[in-house]
């Protein structure tokens, strides 16, 4: 009983933080998005993880090429971080370039990447990519920020 009174008095002196974000910015995934489909073009294994490249057609950006420079989390074989680059070139020869950074996870033969992309045209995107290692199918969804 004495312990219960002690804990109750501590709670009154030090209120528990609530899970609400009062006065703090929240993260909202935009409802606007566009997706591209493509394929893995290369996979190279390294001591730290690997490098995956993929390509597809992305509307106004034309043919896009993307790299995932992956690092494995030392405490997990199924997740890690990555950096990368993206380049799109349209039929007129206009080129845009992006820097990328994010995290990845693997379930079975499916890799999922979550990234923030910063493009040379001033656009910024929250991106989710899904890659099937068995088939090589790749899909990337862009959410404008």
DSSP 55-76: EEE-GGG-EEEEEEEEEE-TT-
pLDDT of residue 101: 97
pLDDT of residue 20: 52
Number of domains in the chain: 1
Q: By mean pLDDT, which of 29-33, 76-80, 85-89 is the weakest?
A: 29-33
Domain hosting 61: range is: 23-144
For residue 77, being part of any structural domain is answered with: yes
Q: Tell me the mean pLDDT in the region 86-106.
A: 96
For residue 46, being part of any structural domain is answered with: yes
For residue 3, being part of any structural domain is answered with: no
Q: Name the phi and psi angles at 10, rounded to 5.
A: -65, -40
**DSSP letter string, 11-39:** HHHSPPPPSS-TTS------S--EEEEEE
For residue 69, being part of any structural domain is answered with: yes
pLDDT tens digits along 18-50: 445 577 888 777 788 889 999 999 999 998 899
| Total-model pTM | 0.79
Higher confidence at residue 84 or residue 15?
84
- pLDDT category at 17 given cuts 50, 70, 90 is very low
For residue 139, being part of any structural domain is answered with: yes
For residue 9, being part of any structural domain is answered with: no
Name the percent of the chain lying above pLDDT 70.
86
The SS3 call for residue 35 is strand
For residue 16, being part of any structural domain is answered with: no
The SS3 call for residue 125 is strand
CATH number, residue 30: 2.40.160
């Amino acid at each position: 009983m004495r312990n219960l009174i002690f804990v109750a008095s501590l709670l009154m002196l030090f209120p528990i933080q609530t899970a609400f974000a009062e006065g703090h910015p929240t993260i909202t995934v935009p409802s606007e998005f566009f997706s591209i489909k493509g394929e893995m073009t290369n996979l190279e294994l390294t001591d730290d993880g690997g490098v995956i490249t993929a390509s597809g057609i992305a509307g106004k950006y034309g043919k896009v090429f993307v790299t995932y420079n992956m690092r494995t989390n030392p405490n997990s074989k199924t997740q890690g971080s990555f950096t990368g680059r993206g380049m799109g070139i349209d039929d007129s020869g206009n080129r845009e370039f992006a820097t990328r950074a994010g995290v990845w996870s693997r379930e079975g033969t499916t890799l999922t990447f979550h990234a923030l992309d910063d493009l040379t045209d001033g656009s910024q995107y929250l991106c989710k990519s899904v890659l099937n290692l068995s088939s090589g199918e790749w899909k990337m969804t862009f959410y404008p920020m």
